[in-house]
Structure 1
Amino acid sequence: MHGKSGLMRGGAAVLGAAVALLTAAPLASADPVSAMSTGEAKGRVEGGDAAFQVNFDRGPVNTPVAELFNLTLSDGSKLKVYCVQVDVDLDKQQDMIERPWDKFPDAASPFHKNRDKLNWVLHHGYPANDLAAIEAELAKKDVKFHDKLSKAEAITATQAAVWHFSDDRNLNPEHPIRSGSADDAADVLALYKYLTGDANTGIGEQPKPTLNISAKATEGKAGTRIGPFTVTTTGDITELTSKLPEGVKITDADGKELKTADVKDGSELYVDVPKDSKDGNGTFALKASGHLDTGRLFVGENYEKKKAQSLIVAQSEKTTVSANAAAKWTAGTVTPPTSETSTPPSATTAPPTPSGPPTTAPSVVPQAEQGSLPYTGVSAILPISIGALLLIGGTVMLLLVRRRRKSAA
């Protein structure tokens, strides 16, 4: 019985190993890209510049302190942010993840209908504009500040205007702040009224700057213009550089050499190669810049489990994106290779017709789609083969057990 049970256990173990290997085999060749992160910005909120405590004219008894916080992203960059959920606590221990406006976590929030006007506040308030610029803009409307606009006054008015649109809260016009002087209160109220008044026409969500060149690598012949390389960007082209042999130029379709100022969204670029050029290659690169930060929304990573006050970026900064492309060309006149140095025909090129009597030679078998799939570093053939052998071995062992039982009977 011991031998039979041992065989049974051995057969079962072999079968189990075979199933495990066969099941795992497809996972070994899975595309690793599918498990990659989305690349969304992540950061932690830190202390910032605290200003005045505000008074609302209605709603729950809540007198929060207006504060311009720092948000440090995982790449080390720092952003200035305001709060957009006045009744939700700030959680400095929770990661904040960038989300599009449509993913604001409170479906019933006034944020959704007012977000364009909220974004206008950010673009026209502090710190997107410095104190002198704000004073100059309001001076056009005959608004003067008492002994100039202070940083605390500007932060308080901008944050209060944000809450006006994100949470439907209004400053108490009689007592807008709980501390500070009467001049402070008057300055806060003046800027708040401007940011929430008729001048506010709204600004939509701004796309991140992008830059793309349609053809990454193109081939051609000397004496032609290789291309087109079509440029698509949401930013402004700030630089065009190239690494090309002497005489080779970046031009438009008519052969006019292009400079940085000539390139914009939709431009078609060509690599113009003189007809007497030898075999060669070259590259060119573009850089574009655009405003990235103002209006970006950050939501708590674990908001569904533990609510954290959402944040919106208040300072506009320029960011740069880049893209490059390459061209390769052959000389205009190609000398046929000799038989001693000729290269075997490729899979997509038919061999030349022989002039002499036919000879027997092995045929060239095309390799369909060679190189079209990325190699992941793991082959599924080996585990499948081992699994199949183990499956056969397990089956044989189980058959031997059955035969011995019959013989014993």
Structure 2
Amino acid sequence: MRLKTIRTPLVATAAFLAVLAGAPAHAEEPEPVSGDIVTAPGLELRGEMDGERYDVWANVLGLQPHGTEETLVVYCIDIRTPLDTESPYTEGEWEESEVANLEAVRWVLFNGLPNVGAEDLIEASGAEVNPDWSEEEVNEVAFAGTQAAVWHFTDAWDLLTDNPVKGGNNGEDEAVLAIYQHLTEDTGRVPDPSEFTVDLEGEEAATFEDGRFGPYTIRSNAGPVTLTAEGGRLETEDGEEVATLDDGEEFWIALDDGENEITVSGTAAYDLPVGRVFLATTDESLADDAVNPMTSGESQKLILAQPREGEVPAEWKFALDAPSERPADAGGAKLPTTGASLSIAFAAGLALLVGGMTVIVVGKRRTTSDH
């Protein structure tokens, strides 16, 4: 028999948690990333801008952050301005760069190189990889198609549909154009990390049956949620232990012996390119004031294509009373009281900062008879 839940007054307590990815909550935001630009040969593209022909080289660009050996993929977001290869580049704000259409550019980066592999991107666009291309040439084609799509949104530049690649008679024409069209037609929207939430539904309607409470439903727009519990076990409908749940999936709570409270923790992890913009600087400004660096004059602006990893943490605390046997003339059984918890929406900044408000609501247990 499935028992209904009697709603009871709630006693609420609130706590503020500031969570910093990989660092204590009190840590300050790190200084902006700075590094040196490296280039490799690319493809020359034929296009139009402001109603006139405008051809441009899509050289493969990389940023080597100071103090590391890695090279990050970056794209030009300022087609009219020459690249500054003599000065270091440092991270700046998108708003300060005065570049348009961040949402569309994010979508292009999320669905272009390197977040989608070069061969996979070419095939996803409907084009074919020439078996005679080297790995380097495959990468050049994927980069050029993605760069062309970025310029379409940042600079209102359009790739020609007729011979878009100079000398691209070996399949480059078709592949670059296909990628460009794939990334500019029906552009979707990649959410900002501040919009990611992990929540829980069903705490007020949950019931007690067969020794456990539930069901509770996970709500997440940040991807699968990894769950752990202290004070009990989380189970699927079939009694299997829960590890990870997707949005809309349910779990049940089985308390440990002697326990009447349980804390459930959840974490959703995401990868998201966030449009980190890099501007050329002077060595002096990096040494003296890296937070507000002076630019080294008119130089091309770049955007980082690599994704940023982040997490959305959540926590729910429950005070649960299982029904006890009562004499037949008592008119009913003691029903469970469930405590509800929180909904967390964390805003993430460029420094991988994840912070937010955690509200813990614990149900007040009381003995209630159903008459």
- Where 1:156 maps in the other structure, the secondary structure is helix
Unaligned 5+ runs, structure 1: 1-32, 216-221, 334-409
Aligned to 1:51: 41
Amino acid in the other structure paired with 1:126:
L
d(CA) in 2 for partners of 1:176, 1:123: 24
In the TM superposition, what is the alpha-carbon distance from 1:163 to its structure 2 partner?
Answer: 1.8
Q: Give the Cα–Cα distance (whole angstroms) in 2 for the partners of residues 326 and 206 of structure 1.
A: 29
The structure-2 alpha-carbon separation of the partners of 1:237 and 1:55, relative to structure 1 and needing over 3 Å to count, comes to closer
Partner of 2:221: 234
User: Secondary structure in 1 aligned to 2:224?
Assistant: strand
More strand by share: 2
Give the drift of 1:85.
1.0
Match of 1:249 among 233, 242, 251: 233
Matched, 1:203 2:203: no
The structure-2 alpha-carbon separation of the partners of 1:55 and 1:211, relative to structure 1 and needing over 3 Å to count, comes to closer
Which residue pairs with 2:165 in the alignment? 176
Q: Does 1:322 align with 2:317?
A: no
Question: Contact 2:109 / 2:305 at 8 angstroms: preserved in 1?
Answer: yes
95 and 314 in structure 1: CA distance in 2 versus 1, 3 angstrom threshold: closer
RMSD between superposed Cα atoms in Å: 5.2
Match of 1:136 among 117, 120, 123: 123
CA contact (8 A) 2:123 2:129 kept: no
Are the equivalent residues in 1 in contact too, given 2:198–2:221 (CA < 8 A)?
Answer: no
TM-score, with structure 1 as normaliser: 0.49
Q: 1:130 to 1:308 in 2, by over 3 A?
A: same
Post-superposition shift, 1:95?
2.6
Q: Is the 8 A contact 2:121 2:179 kept in 1?
A: no
User: Is this contact kept in 2: 1:79–1:313, CA < 8 A?
Assistant: yes
**Distance apart, 1:47 and its partner CA:** 3.1
Is residue 298 of structure 1 aligned with residue 277 of structure 2? Answer: yes
Deviations 1:33-72 (A, max 9, x none): 9xx9995993224334523253544569874452232364
Distance in 2 separating the partners of 1:37 and 1:87: 39
1:192 pairs with 2:176: yes
Matches within 5 A, 1:68-147: 68-70=61-63, 72=65, 79-90=72-83, 93-97=88-92, 99=94, 103=95, 105-106=97-98, 111-112=100-101, 116=104, 118-138=105-125, 140=126, 143=128, 145=130, 147=132
Structure 2: which amino acid aligns with 1:82?
A: Y
User: Is residue 119–residue 138 contact of structure 2 (8 Å, CA) maintained in 1?
Assistant: no
**Residue in structure 1 matching 2:265, options 285, 303, 311:** 285
Task: For 2:151, give the aligned amino acid.
Answer: W
Matched with 2:301 is 310
Residue segments in structure 2 that go unaligned for 5+ positions in a row: 1-17, 19-25, 202-207, 280-290, 325-371
Q: Aligned partner of 1:150: which letter? A: V
Verify: 1:153 aligned to 2:148, yes or no. no
Deviation at 1:130, TM superposition (A): 2.0
TM-score (structure 2 length as normaliser): 0.53
Identity %: 18
**Bigger radius of gyration:** 1
CA distance in 1, matches of 2:260, 2:182: 61
Aligned partners of 2:262 and 2:319 also within 8 Å: yes
Contact 2:47 2:55 in 1 (8 A): no
Distance 1:281 1:304 in 2: 56
Would the alpha carbon gap of residues 234 and 45 (structure 1) be closer, same or farther in structure 2, given more than 3 Å must change? farther
Q: Give secondary structure in 2 for the equivalent of 1:192.
A: helix
Distance 1:325 1:331, change over 3 A: same
d(CA) in 1 for partners of 2:235, 2:93:
40
How many Å separate the matches in 2 of 1:206 and 1:72? 26
1:42, 1:73 within 8 Å by CA — same for their partners in 2?
A: no
Q: Helix, strand or coil for the counterpart of 2:34?
A: strand
CA distance in structure 2 between the partners assigned to 1:40 and 1:202 by the alignment:
33
Q: Which amino acid aligns with 1:296?
A: G
Is the 2:46–2:163 contact (alpha carbons within 8 Å) kept by the matching residues of 1? no
Per the TM alignment, residue 94 of structure 1 is displaced from its structure 2 partner at its CA by 4.6
What letter matches 2:270 in structure 1?
G
Aligned partner of 2:32 among 29, 42, 50: 42
Aligned amino acid, residue 174 of structure 2: A
Secondary structure, aligned partner of 1:96: strand
Return closer, same or farther for 1:189/1:41 CA change in 2, 3 Å cut-off: farther
| Structure 1 residue 88, shift from structure 2 partner | 3.5
